[in-house]
A and B are shown apart, each in its own frame.
Chain A
């Protein structure tokens, strides 16, 4: 099963390599990882998507807590939360199919952020299903390149992770 973890870490040198190293040496699969600063100075937040069973997930959380720079690990998978990912997709397009692609983009409430003679870049924000759906539709044209930020997630309501 795929789980989403929110991991608060101290913003210290090497903290990313500690977390990444833990996953790689214990053979845990990272599906995506996004890191950024939080409102609290010197504290960063990682959103990590992992593919694991329940037993492995328990180990992942415990092993993360063993890292001194890890402050808090929250499993958001079952919690009511909002999750998003931003994707930039470069599609081969010319005057012949640009309008068609534009229609798909509008339907998904995505954005065209760059147009060139033979290509366009589309920015999509959304959850995984939406991104998969638009990618599937765009694949009928030639997708030249895809960049994804990895998922970020936040709890709904006033509850916070501190």
Chain B
């Protein structure tokens, strides 16, 4: 069927069952926006392209479907960069369409022209500048395939105006063959047998689970595997919600702000099964000291992750769900009781705790626990980046996969709020909470307009300590309390009034007794709500592994 390039794009989106696109219009993307209105695809317009990119990312993390973004050329595409990089670091499937001027190349430095292809090379899984309308259907088909298979990631398609306008034939390829792209899903049975042999001898095994568990849909297999052999499970920030936090075998998060017992367990384990994790420096602490005595089994769908940061004694390349399914049929450790008892000792000697004085200031941890309580643990959570993010990781109980979206790899402040709007669009029936800091919320605060415009009932809980808390904590601990550029008191808006100015509901809690009523009020409000929780300013995130220290050397409380 003959049609214009832009109609081809829309038809291809229909074939890919896309229901929502995240966009900001402009000279070179107006055509698409026009066409989308006619098709049965919802397009959600943000206030800024960065917001659109984070929202598409949040949508993708919550639903498992790729997030689709449209932007115009030049500043439209450069504003996407942080969003694309965030998705790339956390392996989130996205397909990004950027408009482009008349020519595929930036030959004449035309108006709003930028070489987005080169700018995004290191932060995309793949990217293409479409040169002819005849390449368009295949390019889109390939982009969706690349974004959503193997190790997922963002794929960018740059669409020059002439390709959008030219008339071509729409024939959407059913099958595609990409000679240079063959992700390995089926693991090598020989490697699985090796693992089984090591596991059968293991006395102190630990599973270290990353975001790959969630992306592979392996949470159920992970639970069965852990339960069958009584192996404790610690998760990374990205792996939270991949294993129920309240499970008796759950150790919580490991690493810099992980639990003491998770870090001690990893440090003393004899076998570590790293599943869909990448031994980030926030997890390993000083690499040369990491799990020195353990046999490390590393399961990942991306072969390049294996051996990249930490040695892998037994590498397994493949889909974690399949690997765990295979391992479930093999023998495992016989008796881990003494090991679990040892871990419980660690648990007792440095429990996670804070002290909420009824008449004192609000503890940030208390707010986070109350969000869990008041939503009966059913909310979908996004966070910004900072102390509130770490407290969420430590104190919120995640029970179901894809209920948590946070910028783990890139650590993007400004991610959480626009992402929560994407999550809400993907999961309209769920309660969505964005736990934010007073610093990071301001980075993309303008998207309140989007939440109001589309009547999306996201709830923002600002853990307002009037500081860039995590930076303040580092300055306190490592720079002799010489504070610089961390106080936000002056210049911060009145968040309640600001919410009202946008047409959202603004609430504030200043005393511990106000926390629960305010949350209840927010939950009974049909539209978006911003809650300004005025919390203790000097509270620090503990425990903590100081940078570049071994993970068993934790600072557990304030001096």
Using a CB–CB distance below 8 Å, which chain A residues touch chain B? Answer: 10, 13-14, 17-18, 21, 25, 55, 58-59, 62-63, 65-71
Contacts and interface: CB of A to CB of B under 8 A. Distances in A.
- Most chain A CB inside 10 Å of its own CB: which residue of B125, B180, B303, B306: B180
A58 B118 CA distance: 26
A10 B304 contact: no
Nearest to B142: A68
Contacts of A69: 180
A68 B307 CA distance: 21
Contacts of B127: 14
Given A68-B180, A69-B180, A59 B122 contact: no
Contacts of B121: 14, 17-18, 21
Contacts of A62: 303-304, 306, 308
B103 to A, nearest CB: 13
Given A10-B180, A21-B121, A58 B307 contact: yes
Contacts of B131: 13
A71 B180 contact: yes
A66 B146 CA distance: 11
Interface in B263-311: 302-304, 306-308
8 contacts: A14-B129, A18-B121, A21-B122, A62-B306, A62-B308, A66-B304, A68-B180, A69-B180
A17 B118 contact: yes
Nearest to A63: B304
A59 B306 CA distance: 9
Given A13-B129, A14-B129, A67-B180, 7 more contacts: A14-B127, A62-B303, A68-B125, A68-B146, A68-B181, A69-B180, A70-B180
B126 interface: yes
B355 interface: no
B117 A59 contact: no
Nearest to A12: B128
B349 interface: no
Interface of B: 117-118, 121-122, 125-127, 129, 131, 146, 178-181, 302-304, 306-308
A46 to B, nearest CB: 14
Contacts of B129: 13-14
Contacts of A13: 129, 131
Nearest to A25: B122
B178 A68 contact: yes
B302 A66 contact: yes
A43 to B, nearest CB: 9
B496 to A, nearest CB: 44
A20 to B, nearest CB: 10
A68 B128 CA distance: 11
B307 A55 contact: yes
A79 B181 CA distance: 26
A34 to B, nearest CB: 20
B308 A59 contact: yes
A14 B121 CA distance: 9
A68 B126 contact: yes
Nearest to B302: A66
A62 B151 CA distance: 14
A62 B308 CA distance: 10
A10 B178 CA distance: 10
Contacts of A55: 307
Contacts of A71: 179-180
Nearest to B121: A21
Contacts of A59: 304, 307-308
The 3 A-B pairs at the shortest CB distance, nearest first, are namely A62-B304, A68-B126, A71-B180
A65 B183 CA distance: 10
A13 B117 CA distance: 10
Nearest to B179: A71
A14 B178 contact: no
A21 B118 CA distance: 9
Contacts of B181: 68
B306 to A, nearest CB: 8
- Most chain A CB inside 10 Å of its own CB: which residue of B118, B131, B181: B181
- Most chain B CB inside 10 Å of its own CB: which residue of A18, A55, A65, A68: A68
A74 to B, nearest CB: 14
Nearest to B117: A14
B369 to A, nearest CB: 41
B55 to A, nearest CB: 26
B180 to A, nearest CB: 5
B105 to A, nearest CB: 9
Contacts of B125: 68
A14 B106 CA distance: 13
A117 B7 CA distance: 66
A63 B302 CA distance: 10
- Most chain B CB inside 10 Å of its own CB: which residue of A17, A25, A59, A66: A66
B283 to A, nearest CB: 19
Given A13-B129, A14-B117, A14-B121, A65 B303 contact: yes
Nearest to B306: A62
A66 B180 CA distance: 9
A61 to B, nearest CB: 9
A94 to B, nearest CB: 46
A133 B125 CA distance: 44
Nearest to B303: A62
B175 to A, nearest CB: 17
A18 to B, nearest CB: 6
Contacts of B178: 68
A89 B146 CA distance: 47
A10 B179 contact: yes
A58 B305 CA distance: 11
Nearest to A13: B129
A55 B122 CA distance: 22
A69 B180 CA distance: 6
A13 B103 CA distance: 14
Contacts of B122: 21, 25
B148 to A, nearest CB: 14
Nearest to A22: B122
A70 B308 CA distance: 20
Contacts of A67: 180
Contacts of A58: 307
A25 B118 CA distance: 13
A86 to B, nearest CB: 29
Contacts of A70: 180
Nearest to A59: B308
B315 to A, nearest CB: 11
Contacts of A66: 302, 304
Contacts of A63: 304
